[in-house]
Amino acid sequence: MKKRLSTLQVLAISALVVAVTAILPFFVSGYILGLLTVAFYFGVFAMAWDLLFGFAGEVNFGPTFLIGVGAYTAGILDNLYQPPIIVCLAAGTLAAIVGGLVLALPALRLRGPYFGLITLVAVLILSNFVVVAAELTGGEIGLTVPDVITVNADTNYWLALGFMAVSGGILYFLSRSPIGLILQASGQDPVQTNALGFNVSKHKLAAFIVSAFFSGLAGALMVFYFGVASVGTFVDLTVAVQIIVAAVIGGRRTIIGGVLGAVFLIGANEALRPVGDLSTFVVSAIALVVVLLFPSGFLGLLSRLRGAE
């Protein structure tokens, strides 16, 4: 019988991987760093989504609602008043948490596809709002913010890596903590979990807040990396699809699988540049094959291989 890795072991292995990736800037080009920077932020999106879906059991088609709210709040604030970036980040995160609460209200009432629709509609309304309130948001052209954190590729990379590592650590720790257990039980069988004496609504609400916190903060940080907030980057359903696909092919209910999925998606898209226009097609096809043949994702595949040894 195979023994699962303990939380500490996983954190140790992850720390090692992070340490190795941290010295990458001394070896690889700025371009690959830029690629990984984006992949790390996407990884955080995917991990935050996994907390909601994999643990709390909420099918959220609109992770970009939380991300978009965070990103645009931070961007608009910077554009209007140019406070220190840290203030913008805090405001974006806060707004995303409020968004998370708004989203959580129907989630406590609706199940499955019905809640899924609400999240979808939330994204559509947000993107409509961005276009309609073009004065404030820059419309579908996008909002260019005056400040970025830094233009140095190495610094940006380390920032994203650090943020991803810390977020991943916290989310993973939470998922393995007593709260993670309760959340998972709530997602699987809310009636029984209630009867065990747990306030399922309270825990789900907490999951929404945590997920919104990381989604919003990551979104806000990414605004100050790109220097621009646009519907196509932060809100659009295609971005939501990428996040969900990253989390699913990385391995659901693993938290850290989301990072693997994100790095794979963005890396594959890049590696496939030679096939030109077909790269998205090929990446989708690979992801579909993973979903069809390896339903537990990369991490599931990995643990199967380990089990076979």
Partner 1 sequence: MLFWQILIDGFAISSLYALGATGFTLIFGVSGVLNLSHGALMVAAAVGAWALNSELGAGAYLGAAFGVLTGIVLTLVTYHVVVRPLQLSARIREEEKEIFILTATLLWGIMIQELIAYFFTNNAKSVLPVVAGVVRIANVRTPANEIFTAIICWVAIALLWFIVNRTRAGKSVLAASMNPRGVTLLGVELSSVYIAVWVIYGVLVGVAGVLLGMFLGVSSYSAGPLTASAFSIVVLGGLGSVPGSLIAAYAVGYLETITAYTISPAYRTIPALLLVILVMYLRPRGLLGRR
Partner 2 sequence: MKPWDKLVRGGVLCAGAAVLALSAGTGAQAQDKGPIKIGVIAEAQSVAGSSIPQAAQLAAEEINAKGGVDGRKVEIVSYDNHSSAAESVRAFQRAVSQDHVNAVIASYVSEVVLALEPWAARLKTVMVTPGAASDVITENIAKNYDAMKYTFHGYLTSGALSGLVCDAGKDILVDGLKMKTAVIMSEDAAWTTPLDAGYEKCLPKIGLKVVDHIRFSPDTTDFTPIFNQIEAKKPDVIITGISHVGTQPTVQWKSQQVPIPMFGVASQATNSTFWKDTNGAADGVLFQAVSGPGVATTEKTLPFVKAFHDKFGNDPSYAGYTAYDEVYYLTDAIKRAGSTNSDKLVAALEKTDYVGTIGRIQFKGKGDPHVHGLKTGKGLITGLFLQWQDGKQVNLWPKDLAKGKLKFPSFIKVSSSQ
Partner 3 sequence: MNAPAMLEVSGLTKRFGGLVAVKDIGFTVNSGEILGLIGPNGSGKSTAMKAIVGIEKPNAGSVRIDGVEVAGWPSHRIARLGVGMVFQHSRPLHRQTVLENITLALLPDSLLHLFHDRTTEERARRIAERVGLTPVLERLPATLPFADLRRMEVAKAIARDPKVVLVDEPFAGLTSKETETFAGLIRELRDSGHAILLVDHNVKSVAALADRVFAMYVGERIAEGTVEEVMRDETVRRVYLGGKLETAARKEAAFADRDTPFLRVEKLNVFYGKAQALEDVSLHVHKGEFVSVVGLNGAGKTTLFNAISGMVPYSGEIYREGRPLAGQSAAAIARGGIVQSPEGRDLFTDMSVRENLDMGGQHLDAATAKERIEWLFSLFPILKTRQKQSAGTLSGGEQQMLTIARSLMMNPDMLILDEPTLGLAPVILEQISKALEKLRQTTPITVLLGEQNVTFALPHADRVYVLEHSRIVWEGEPGRFAAEIGADYL
Query: Considering only residues 78-137, where is the footprint of partner 2 by CB under 8 A?
Result: 128, 131-132, 134
Neighbours of 304 (CB within 10 A): 12
Find the shortest distance in angstroms from Cβ 260 to partner 3: 18
Residues 6+ apart with CB under 8 A from 64: 123, 126, 234, 235, 236, 237, 239, 240, 243
Q: Mask: binding to partner 3, 58-97, rule CB under 8 A, as x and -?
A: ----------------------------------------
Q: Is 151 in the site for partner 2 (CB under 8 A)?
A: yes
Task: Count how many residues are written for the chain.
Answer: 309
Q: Is 109 in the site for partner 1 (CB under 8 A)?
A: yes
Helix, strand, coil abundance in the chain, percent, nearest 5: 80, 0, 20
Find the shortest distance in angstroms from Cβ 243 to partner 2: 13
Q: Is 112 in the site for partner 1 (CB under 8 A)?
A: yes
Among 35, 76, 248, 255, binds partner 1 (CB under 8 A): 248
Residues 6+ apart with CB under 8 A from 154: 25, 30, 33
Q: Is 31 in the site for partner 1 (CB under 8 A)?
A: no
Phi, psi dihedrals of residue 305, rounded to the nearest 5°:
-60, -45
Residues that bind partner 3 (rule: CB under 8 A) add up to a total of 26
H/E segment holding residue 229: strand 228-229
Asked if 126 and 65 touch (Cβ cutoff 8 Å), the reply is yes
Query: Considering only residues 212-231, where is the footprint of partner 2 by CB under 8 A?
Result: 226-228, 230
Residues that bind partner 1 (rule: CB under 8 A) add up to a total of 35
Cα–Cα distance measured from residue 246 to residue 25, given in angstroms and rounded to the nearest whole number: 24
Residues 6+ apart with CB under 8 A from 241: none
Residues that bind partner 2 (rule: CB under 8 A) add up to a total of 34
Q: Is 155 in the site for partner 2 (CB under 8 A)?
A: no
Cα–Cα distance measured from residue 219 to residue 225, given in angstroms and rounded to the nearest whole number: 10
CA 35 to chain centre: 16
Q: Which stretch binds partner 3 (CB under 8 A): 12-20, 79-87, 121-129, 190-198?
A: 190-198
Residue 143, SS3 per DSSP: strand
Asked if 55 and 200 touch (Cβ cutoff 8 Å), the reply is no
Q: Is 202 in the site for partner 3 (CB under 8 A)?
A: yes
Asked if 155 and 34 touch (Cβ cutoff 8 Å), the reply is no
Q: Is 72 in the site for partner 1 (CB under 8 A)?
A: no
Among 8, 146, 151, 178, binds partner 3 (CB under 8 A): 178
Cα–Cα distance measured from residue 302 to residue 38, given in angstroms and rounded to the nearest whole number: 24
Q: Is 199 in the site for partner 3 (CB under 8 A)?
A: yes
**Residues binding partner 3 (CB under 8 A):** 1, 3, 173-174, 177-179, 181-182, 184-185, 188-189, 191-192, 194-200, 202-203, 206, 253
**Residues binding partner 1 (CB under 8 A):** 53, 59, 106, 109-110, 112-114, 116-118, 120-121, 124-125, 128, 132, 237-238, 241, 244-245, 248, 277-278, 280-281, 284-285, 287-288, 291-292, 295-296
